[in-house]
Amino acid sequence: MLAGMLLGAATCLFAQKPVIGISAFSENGRCQVNNTYVNSVRLGGGVPLVIPVTDDDAQIDVILSSIDGLVMTGGEDFDPLKWFGEEPIRGLGEVVPERDAYDVKLVRAAVAKGIPVLGICRGEQLLAVAFGGSLWQDIPSQLKDSYVKHRQSPTTGTYGTHSISIEKGSLLSRVLGNRTAAVVNSFHHQAIKQVPQGLRVVAKSADGIIEGVERSGRLAPQFADGGAMILGVQFHPEIITNAGSPEFLPLFQKLVEEAARQ
């Protein structure tokens, strides 16, 4: 009886605000996530819930039944041979197969259930990998015409280092106050190459690298699709939001707004 009362109290508490799942990474025997994501979800009006790394379909299904929205976070490179049929090149970085499998299962299941998704950095790339697209494995070695510094380290992530153009009228533009340009932080060497069916490019850097994608229609028939919001950005709005700037907070507010409809 006590367990039932506690569960009921927790459910009532969570019901006050949308619960936003945040994908974790596994390192040194721990499942964890950067507090920048957690704090940004809170600032956006949601209740953050960190989702542990697992490839157990049943557990993922139970977890997804407890959340209303999902943030897919940044991290390592994807295995190109497994996920889009390309041999790995020398510029490929660290690959973590367990996380690849977890991320793909998690986002596919969330989209199938109609849970709105915000993908950030690797999370944007995941939207291509999981639904039939592909990536540039290493921008510097594969795209000789790319001149923008996409990996801004050691400059702090709270400071924007390159510009992006945003398609007028797109969801991304509307969420950011009908803006058609922004200055963003940048910590990546991979990027979307082939955009899958159901998504479209809505933001690019000055050298043509894809910096934002969003839903344009139904995903390819082999993927179950609940029709909810799908939005991905290549930069890190959570770092800037966590630092106290309101510039990209609307991305998290929009996710929470869409999650509240569930």
Among residues 189, 236, 257, 258, which one is catalytic?
A: 236
Cα(223)–Cα(245) distance, integer angstroms = 37
The CA distance from 217 to 212, in Å, is 16
Tell me which of 211, 214, 238, 257 is the catalytic residue: 238
Question: Which of 121, 162, 188, 214 is flagged as catalytic?
Answer: 121
Q: What burial letters (b/e) apply to 178-199, b meaning 16+ CB within 10 Å?
A: eeeebebbbbbbbbbbebbbbb
Q: Say whether 238 is catalytic.
A: yes
Q: Indicate if 121 belongs to the active site.
A: yes
Contact 23, 103 (CB under 8 A): yes
Question: Is residue 76 exposed (0-12), middle (13-18) or buried (19+ Cβ within 10 Å)?
Answer: middle
Supply the residues annotated as catalytic. 121, 236, 238
